[in-house]
Amino acid sequence: MQTVNPTTEAELETYAHHDGEAIEEALDAASTAFEEWSARDVTERQTLVGSIAGGLRENLEEYAALMTDEMGKPLDQSRGELEKCAWVCEYYAENAAEFLQDERVGVHPKVKTKVSYEPLGPLVAVMPWNYPFWQVLRVAAPTLAAGNTMLLKHAPNVTGCATAIEDLLHDVGIPEGTFQTLVVGPDAVHDAIADDRVAAVTLTGSTRAGSAVAETAGKHLKPSVLELGGSDPFVVLDDAPIERAASVGVDARTKNNGQACIAAKRFIVVDDVYEAFKERFVAEMNDLVVGDPTESETDVGPLARDDLRDTLDEQVRATVDAGADVLLGGEPLDREGYFYAPTVLENVPEGTPAARDELFGPVASLFRVPDEAAAVELANDTDYGLGASVWTSDLDRAERLTGEIEAGAVFANELVSSDPRLPFGGVKSSGYGRELSSQGIREFTNEKTVWLSPPDGLE
């Protein structure tokens, strides 16, 4: 398994796949570690989870450079990702015990009834490359704090990040076997999910990958959480703050080189302000600096792999061939590395890739609609339902629209983002289940009902 720098196309490292014997040993280790780890008091577990934050900050420059080398995000964004990872570890270090404490439920004066939250066992986590530390630690922090163990199957092109995370967790005192990286292919993942030693599975990735993992989990009656793709609408209404909407919209579309499931992808703008928004938006997209992600002035780096760049280009070409107009960009850059020009399309025909699919890169699609009702209808006209952003000066109007837009999260006058304090997840083809907050830590627990009656009964 080889990693490649997407900026220079140079080979970075080669990693050996884990064979069947190594996978067996990892499953045994996870199962054995679970017995000891789950028996520890939650306050001890959360303290160890909190110590990960210090390790991240001590090694911040090393880890940031590794992320940028392996998947191409601008270096400042890599640093920001690590700070967010430290935050989620500290968040569960502070709150895990509270989230997992027994809940008393009154049903009868003589009966003690409660709900307790108990860990399930080893968890298989299948994670993507686009946020190689955050995607892992936002799952690992609550999973480990709850008393479960974790087997990570990371994306092949960020294997260095995967091994760095495992080493860090061991260095701060997380016991051997509690968190392990599996360098394996898809078949081995499905075999691991089916294994009796594995209790549950979580995946962040494409709808296709999520469907396959859910099928395996369902066949073997394993609980699962899926965080899948998105084609998030960015709705600009007639009373929106246009300048700020355009500026934030560019950031929402191009952050992480445009490779984010919650990136704004479909910009739905009412007719009254369409031309003003388009002019400002295209100008700011055009001002973006595309280049070496290790340079401080760079806004947009390369796509993570050559096949991702090629797929994006195919989607754009198919949309343009069907009748869309290119306002900016529209092609790969003729240079070393997997770079794609910041692109803006308009007059996007219905049913084309830019209207229907998830475009993973710095490509924005503009849609002109007559009014608010048409904007909501188009926002919901997608198989996805991860996030949405609504822009208006009337917060009462915005709050009303949050109930009309079909998504796991709706933000008014802000880009969609994840926050450890709030649950995160989608609906429709964007997946199910929730990560983060109290909901996230309870996803992989047994919500056990406990009923204690007196020996002489209730009479």
Q: What percent of the chain has pLDDT over 70?
A: 100
- pLDDT value at 97 more than 90: yes
pLDDT tens digit sequence for 129-164 = 999 999 999 999 999 999 999 999 999 999 999 999
The mean predicted confidence, pLDDT, of the chain is 98
What is the sign, positive or negative, of the torsion defined by CA atoms of 9, 361, 311, 434?
positive
- pLDDT value at 436 more than 80: yes
Q: Which residues are catalytically annotated?
A: 227, 261
Q: In degrees to the nearest 10, what's the CA dihedral of 97, 102, 104, 107?
A: 160
CATH of range 232-412; options 3.40.309.10, 3.40.50.300, 3.40.710.10, 1.10.760.10: 3.40.309.10
Residue ranges per structural domain of the chain? 2-228+426-451, 232-412
Read off φ and ψ for residue 144, nearest 5 degrees: -70, -40
Long-range contact set of residues 413-418: C-beta below 8 Å, sequence gap at least 24: 413/241, 413/244, 413/245, 414/248, 414/389, 415/248, 415/249, 415/251, 415/252, 415/255, 415/264, 415/389, 416/232, 416/252, 416/262, 416/264, 416/386, 416/387, 416/388, 416/389, 417/262, 418/138, 418/262
Tokens at residue 351, please?
A: 């049913």
Separation of alpha carbons 68 and 158, rounded Å: 10
pTM as predicted: 0.97
pLDDT tens digit sequence for 269-319 = 999 999 999 999 999 999 999 999 999 999 999 999 999 999 999 999 999
* Nearest by Cα to 443 from 423, 413, 428: 423
pLDDT of residue 180: 98
CATH of range 2-228+426-451; options 3.40.605.10, 1.10.10.10, 3.40.50.10800, 3.40.50.300: 3.40.605.10
pLDDT of residue 213: 97
pLDDT of residue 459: 77
pLDDT of residue 351: 97
Once rounded to an integer, what is the mean pLDDT over residues 380-393? 98
Q: Is 201 helix (H, G, I), strand (E, B) or coil?
A: strand
pLDDT of residue 145: 98
Q: Point out which residues pair with 150 in neighbouring strands.
A: 123, 179
pLDDT of residue 1: 87
Helix (H) or strand (E) holding 69: helix 60-71
pLDDT band of 3, cuts 50, 70, 90: very high
3-state helix, strand, coil in the chain (%, to 5): 45, 20, 35
